[in-house]
Amino acid sequence: MPRTSTRLTFAVLATGAGVFAMLQSLIAPALPTVQHALHTSQSTATWVMTAYLLSASVFTPILGRVGDLAGRKRTLVAVLATVLAGCLLAALAPSIGVLIVARVVQGAGGALFPLSFGIIRDEFAPSEVSGSISNLSAVIAAGGGVGMVAAGPIVSALDYRWLFWIPVAVVAVTVLIALRYVPESPNRAEGKVSWLGAALLSAWLVALLLPLSEAGRWGWGSARVLGLLAAAVALFALWLATEARSRSPLIDLRVMRLPAVWTTNAAALLFGAGMYAIWSFLPGFVQTPSAAGYGFGASVTAAGLLMLPMLAAMFLSGVLAGRLEPRVGAKALLTAGAALGALACGFLTLWHDAPWQIAVVAGLFGLGIGLAYASMANLVVGSVPPEQTGAATGMNANIRTIGGSIGAAVTGVLVTGRLQPSGLPYASGYTHGWALLALLCLAAAGAALLVPAHRTARVPAPAATGSAREPARVR
């Protein structure tokens, strides 16, 4: 394929994945505005975020597997069109119920991550794959930062609906370019989609993530939370048993058991817990009035600007990871990224009395996010057969999201467990939360050290068919 063609393909993939990453965080700072404009309660407005999280968690691995089977370009275009429809519906939504449905539709865009990684592996020269995956990971990581930074100015200058009108225009152009210039995948997995496996996967993910997201309102000891968590365990066990017996599993458990894959996923779970919790609570910390004994009373826009160092650092370190990976290996980069996250949270525990300290910590954590995102993607892609790329990278993204939900939920308990008479958290709640996140990132670095380096991973051939699997190199 000509060089210009791969550059255009990368531009399409980066735009689609970047827009989806931006949509994850873009609406969060505007929730109070949405609540007021659509005349709803705060608890109902939070479903704008919860519905998106649940939808993305379900669709990411399922549509990643569909892409492995049916063709990644075809699935990519369908997913982009779905995101376009979801953004258009959200921009026009006359009520909170319609907006929540629109966010469910947008959640299908989670599949853009595994589909994009699979297309890069299929279409790019072997020497370009690692760097391109790192660059795409940098765009994905930075996209979430762009959402946090851009939300305030967009809502202030225009209206919250423009948080969706802008993606409508961008995604519409991306769909047209993808149809014309993105090639179809030469590698296809054999078999068919296991719809029973998909249904069970969806069920246990929803049963797990819903109580983690709502436990702060429902209460950790409530019957709904405990019942859903128990159901999640039972459904997960049933899903494992079903996938193990299936001739065409949705997620090949033999691939998930590869040393490089399960160790990377463990690091993703732990690092995701720290990363999403920082994204969730650091803006709130700086927006707290200084009368509480901490915080700076920053506006939404000012809080976003304090996150700019994180955004810039995420992108730069993600791009740098592509240059460093051939020299030092993805394992070393993942370890370094998690360690930087632990260092940032450790600094934040001790020093958070001035805006410049927050900016420094944000930049340091951003460096860690960029390195970790790029290296996790490269480790998984380099460890699995080509026809399993979508499902395996989809599950890695999902595991990171699960970790984020757990980290945000536990940090929320620490932060809001004791409140001042004013209703604001005590400073100690935040410092205990930052300390916990430092430990989680440190544990992620420990998991990264377990990733095997410079080994060839083989997936055992299925007993029923005896077919061989392509070996994959792991660095």
Say what the pLDDT of residue 1 is: 39
CA distance 12 to 115: 12
pLDDT at residue 464 in the model: 40
Give the Cα separation of 317 and 366 in Å (integer): 8
Stated pTM of the model: 0.81
Domains 1-194 and 251-475 share a fold: yes
For the stretch 231-237, contacts whose Cβ atoms lie closer than 8 Å and that sit 24 or more positions apart, written own/partner, are 231/203, 231/204, 231/207, 232/204, 232/207, 232/208, 235/200, 235/203, 235/204, 235/207, 236/204, 236/208
Q: 52 with 106: CB under 8 angstroms?
A: yes
CA-wise closest residue to 149 among 275, 256, 282, 261: 282
Domain residue ranges of the chain, discontinuous segments joined by +: 1-194, 195-245, 251-475
CATH of the domain spanning 1-194, picked from 1.20.1250.20, 3.40.50.2300, 3.90.1150.10, 1.10.3720.10:
1.20.1250.20
Entry field: residues in the chain: 475
The one-letter code for the residue type at 239 is: W
Q: How far apart are CA 125 and CA 152, in angstroms?
A: 41
Query: 251-475: which CATH number, 1.10.3720.10, 2.30.110.10, 1.20.1250.20, 2.60.40.3880?
Result: 1.20.1250.20
Query: What is the SS3 string spanning the chain?
Result: CCHHHHHHHHHHHHHHHHHHHHHHHHCHHHHHHHHHHCCCCHHHHCHHHHHHHHHHHHHHHHHHHHHHHHCHHHHHHHHHHHHHHHHHHHHHCCCHHHHHHHHHHHHHHHHHHHHHHHHHHHHCCHHHHHHHHHHHHHHHHHHHHHHHHHHHHHHHHCCCCHHHHHHHHHHHHHHHHHHHHCCCCCCCCCCCCCHHHHHHHHHHHHHHHHHHHHHHHHCCCCHHHHHHHHHHHHHHHHHHHHHHHCCCCCCCHHHHCCHHHHHHHHHHHHHHHHHHHHHHHHHHHHHCCHHHCCCCCCCHHHHHHHCHHHHHHHHHHHHHHHHHHHHHCHHHHHHHHHHHHHHHHHHHHHCCCCHHHHHHHHHHHHHHHHHHHHHHHHHHHCCCCHHHHHHHHHHHHHHHHHHHHHHHHHHHHHHHCCECCCCCECHHHHHHHHHHHHHHHHHHHHHHHCCCCCEEECCCCCCCCCCCCCCEEEC
- What is the rounded distance in angstroms from the CA atom of residue 117 to the CA atom of residue 13? 9
Q: Work out the burial of residue 327: count CB atoms within 10 Å of its CB; fewer than 13 is exposed, 13-18 middle, 19 or more buried.
A: exposed
Backbone φ, ψ for residue 117 (5° rounding): -60, -40
Contact criterion met (CB below 8 Å) for 314 and 22: no
What pLDDT score does 189 carry? 66
Query: Could you list the pLDDT tens digit for every one of the 475 residues in the chain?
Result: 344 468 888 988 999 988 888 888 788 778 788 888 898 887 788 788 888 888 888 888 888 888 888 888 899 999 999 999 999 999 999 999 999 999 999 999 988 988 998 899 888 888 888 888 888 888 887 887 788 788 878 888 888 899 999 999 999 999 999 988 888 877 676 767 788 888 998 899 889 888 887 877 788 889 999 999 999 999 999 999 998 888 878 788 888 888 999 999 999 999 988 887 887 788 888 888 988 888 898 887 787 788 889 888 988 898 888 888 888 888 999 999 999 999 999 999 999 899 999 999 999 999 999 899 889 988 988 888 887 787 788 888 888 888 887 888 888 888 877 888 888 888 898 999 999 999 999 999 999 999 987 544 444 444 443 333 343 444 4
**Cβ(115)–Cβ(390) under 8 Å?**
yes
Tell me phi and psi for residue 247, to 5 degrees.
-75, -20
Instruction: Please compute Rg for the chain using Cα positions.
Output: 21
